[in-house]
A and B are shown apart, each in its own frame.
Chain A
Amino acid sequence: MPLSIHELLSIDWLIALVVAWLVIGLAGLLAPRNLSFVGKTLYPLGALVGLAVALVAFHALGETAEIAVLPMGLPDLPFHLRLDSLSAIFLLLLGAAAAGISIYASGYLRKGEGTAPGLQSLQYHIFLASMALVLLADDAYAFMVAWESMALSSFFLVTSDHRKPDIRRAGYLYLLIAHIGAISILLSFGVLQSSAGLGATQGAADYTFSHMRATGHDAFWASAAFGLALLGFGAKAGLLPLHVWLPEAHPAAPSPVSAMMSGVMLKTAIYGVLRVSFDLLHHPLWWWGVAVLALGLASALFGAVFSAVQSDMKRLLAYSSIENIGLLFVGIGLALTFQSFGMLTLAALALTAMLYHCLNHAAFKSLLFLCTGSVLHATRERSLGKLGGLIHPMPWVAWLALLGVIASAGLPPLNGFVSEWLLLQAFLFTPNLPHSYINMLIPVAAAAVALTAALAGYVMVKFFAIVFLGQAREESISQHAHDAGWLERAGLVWLAALCVLLGLFPVFVIEKLDFVTRTLLGAGVYETAGDAAHTQNWLLLAPISADRASYEPLVFLLMITAVVAATFFIVRRFWHGRLRRSAAWDCGFPLQTARMQDTAEGFSQPLRQVFEPFYRLTRDLPTSFDKAPLYRVVVEDHFWYWLYLPVARASEFGARMVAFLQQGRISIYLLYSFLTLVVLLFLVRG
């Protein structure tokens, strides 16, 4: 039956686009070493597909859910796909970020960096397609297939420069934790499926989400499924204590891949948590929310505190990702808590803030990772201690990075502020909770979120100032530095534009996010926020009521612009011509070099003092009589020594115990089978 183009549903378009990504990836195998074909044809095509995904997903927001069954998979177990508003918002995020990152990647590829470009393009596009399938999957089987393809393709992307032992180690760690997570998710789906079977006799063992969704689960099994899902998705998202792969894998991966992983892949884990906790299990218990909240807060603080002391720019951003993921989980925890007490509007507010932050983080963190990629290509240096003053040779990258930094630090009028402000607003309404202990603890949590936001600002100042401002710390590096090419700039500008637009038009974004919260909770905040919007001013954002708190980003922008312009004008008008250029006062130090500027370590030294118990510090201090003084400080993670190494040692010990079975004598091996046979026969008889 021929289909006319109008009969095609959004989900059909999305399937076609996913296939297009796969085809683009496979096309890379035709000429794997042809850089201009892969770079200038395939990646821009991939970016176009990303844009199309974003448009279709945007169109699908708020529509009724669409389902499709693919004739693939095992016999009697086909792939079920479903597109609802929750999938759509994350697909929008994926498409929009992929468009920018792919365009950037087409200019970023260089000869002789690890894997052949065509092969890398295949891995990259499989990565994109599998993320889209994760978001579309409607049964556990399709979900796990897509989830594992995503993990494997990203593993190969991370280890594309696999000749370096560090990178292989990072890849191994990533793969290990990804698999622990995957096992946990699989178990969670198993629990959901079987405990759903207890309630309903209809629906065979098909593992579809609709089957899991349809029936009530009893409290114990629901909690088990939720805990397993939280562990599994938390491992992928970088939630404490399964975060250790993040700061290893992000620096190892090529920058567009880091951007993709941090900006989008971590969000698929958030999607998974939302899908399980709000959609499949629709009656949360209050302590789930509190547990998620606590874990989220711990991750957020941990990430912020650790990113403050990093001196590798990509590690710094990776820890900052942990912090942002922590904030996202705080939002989820709040929403769960509110929902369990039946306060749906407030749950919708927390969820809106969280989804908003997802979009924001995808935009600004991708932007920042791509900026580090440009810096890396221009200088071949990742260590903050050797960079500096790059705003002169690389103005485009520097100014765009400034936008990303402002957004990430949560300053108005950019997007980071909106979501963090909404999250804090959600906290401010918690005294209404009917549970006194939570009510007492919530202000502490709110304070911790505020502290995290402040630390994030500190980190971003450090990142931008050390890399781009001041003077070049190494002459040779800044002399060879060059600005990004036009394709790279296009990608950066696209992401920066997203940051600005998300920051300036929050009411419009919240109107769209409302479809998601209505799907998940049956309540939204646009009614109240929009009330103010329709009657008075569509630019005014007021989450609960206009007289309690409101925010007008455009007015804010106008004020800032006006003040800056006025200051500039006044300075130029009244002080122009009175400037006198001479040698700077040298404070009695006649010899001053660029190396004497504040360093990354120096800048973070106060925080290192304050938060000393958080770190495992190794310091080598030179004595006063050292001829060649060397100052070295290594900051490590307590978790590594307290949790990971003991587990590793225990498993090695277990493996040695098992090796005891291996005696090397055929008779013994035969005896094993013999005894097994006899015991089994005995059991059968019994």
Chain B
Amino acid sequence: MNSYYGQIINLLAAGLLLLSFAMLGQRRILSLINLFMAQGAVLCASTAIVAFVTGQNHLYWSALITLLLKVLLLPAILHRLIRRLNIKWDVETLINIPTTMLIGIVLVIFSFNLALPISELAGTVTRSTLGIAMAAVLLAFLMMITRSKAVPQVIGFLSMENGLFFAATSATYGMPMVVELGIALDVLVGMVILGVFFFQIRERFDSLDIRHLEQLKED
């Protein structure tokens, strides 16, 4: 029975990694938000299954928070933002997409190699997914680096948080509730502040291209 649930968790983890790659390769902002929403849903489902398997009741709460925040609230805010800012696509990346993908694959191999000794030590049902969680973090980071517009960077940031959350669940059955609540609040507040920044940046430079911020450098 346990191995059956273990397989489902592995499947969901694979889905998470796939979604991370999809986000890395996606140019359109609208699709990016949808992918982010899907990633949140996968995360929510896997957390709920882990909670069911291990009987850790606080993980249900985590799953619920994930559902509310990452599947409903944040995508809604993002959708509203891009409507207000009138940007639905992002054509530019700093490095072209195939190259980015190749770097991503290297990162995944690196993460798996890295997670190997830790997974052997861990006694959780989810231990094999730690490498995927780390890969998700690094891929999200890579996405932040390669995008030149502000909104995809923010999505990358949020996705990185997803990866961290997944890593925490897979390595130790989640963080203490207080920490999780704190992080959830941080993400929410960060989103609000970044939303304000978007408008400020656009007002100042007539564009959301963060390359304009280079002008702020002191010579």
CB A662 to nearest CB in B, in angstroms, measures: 6
Is A75's beta carbon under 8 Å from chain B? no
B114 near A681 (CB under 8 angstroms)?
A: yes
Complex Cα gap A674–B210 (Å) = 19
Q: Which of B173-202 contact A (CB under 8 A)?
A: none
List of A residues within 8 angstroms of B114 by Cβ: 681-682, 684-685
Measured CB to CB, the nearest residue on chain A to B94 is: A667
Complex Cα gap A682–B110 (Å) = 8
CB B75 to nearest CB in A, in angstroms, measures: 23
Complex Cα gap A667–B145 (Å) = 5
List of B residues within 8 angstroms of A671 by Cβ: 145
Question: Beta-carbon contacts of B49-68 to A below 8 Å, as 1s and 0s?
Answer: 00000000000000000000
A670 near B213 (CB under 8 angstroms)?
A: no
Task: Specify which of A663, A674, A684, A685 is in contact with B145 (CB 8 Å cutoff).
Answer: A674
Q: Which of A628-686 contact B (CB under 8 A)?
A: 662-667, 670-671, 673-674, 677-678, 681-682, 684-685
Tell whether A666 pairs with B153 under 8 Å between CB atoms, given A681-B114, A685-B113.
Answer: yes
Complex Cα gap A665–B214 (Å) = 5
Is B146's beta carbon under 8 Å from chain A? yes
Complex Cα gap A662–B219 (Å) = 9
Is B141's beta carbon under 8 Å from chain A? yes
Is B142's beta carbon under 8 Å from chain A? yes
A670 near B141 (CB under 8 angstroms)?
A: yes
Task: Specify which of B138, B148, B218 is in contact with A667 (CB 8 Å cutoff).
Answer: B148
A666 near B213 (CB under 8 angstroms)?
A: yes
Tell whether A665 pairs with B211 under 8 Å between CB atoms, given A681-B114, A685-B113.
Answer: yes
Is B144's beta carbon under 8 Å from chain A? yes
List of B residues within 8 angstroms of A678 by Cβ: 110, 138
CB A92 to nearest CB in B, in angstroms, measures: 53
Is B204's beta carbon under 8 Å from chain A? no
List of A residues within 8 angstroms of B110 by Cβ: 678, 681-682
Is B121's beta carbon under 8 Å from chain A? no
Complex Cα gap A673–B156 (Å) = 15
Give the most central of B145, B215, B217, B218: most A CB within 10 Å. B145
Measured CB to CB, the nearest residue on chain A to B111 is: A681
Give the most central of B141, B146, B218: most A CB within 10 Å. B141
List of A residues within 8 angstroms of B153 by Cβ: 666
Task: Specify which of A664, A670, A673, A682 is in contact with B214 (CB 8 Å cutoff).
Answer: A664
**Extra A-B contacts (17), CB below 8 Å, given A667-B94, A685-B114:** A662-B218, A663-B214, A664-B214, A665-B214, A666-B153, A666-B213, A667-B145, A670-B141, A671-B145, A674-B141, A674-B142, A677-B138, A677-B141, A678-B110, A678-B138, A684-B114, A685-B113
Contacts A/B (CB < 8 Å), 21 sampled: A662-B218, A664-B215, A664-B217, A665-B213, A665-B214, A667-B94, A667-B145, A667-B146, A670-B145, A671-B145, A674-B138, A674-B142, A674-B145, A677-B138, A678-B138, A681-B110, A681-B114, A682-B110, A682-B114, A684-B114, A685-B117
Listed from nearest, the 6 A-B pairs whose CB atoms lie closest are A664-B217, A664-B214, A670-B145, A685-B114, A667-B145, A674-B141
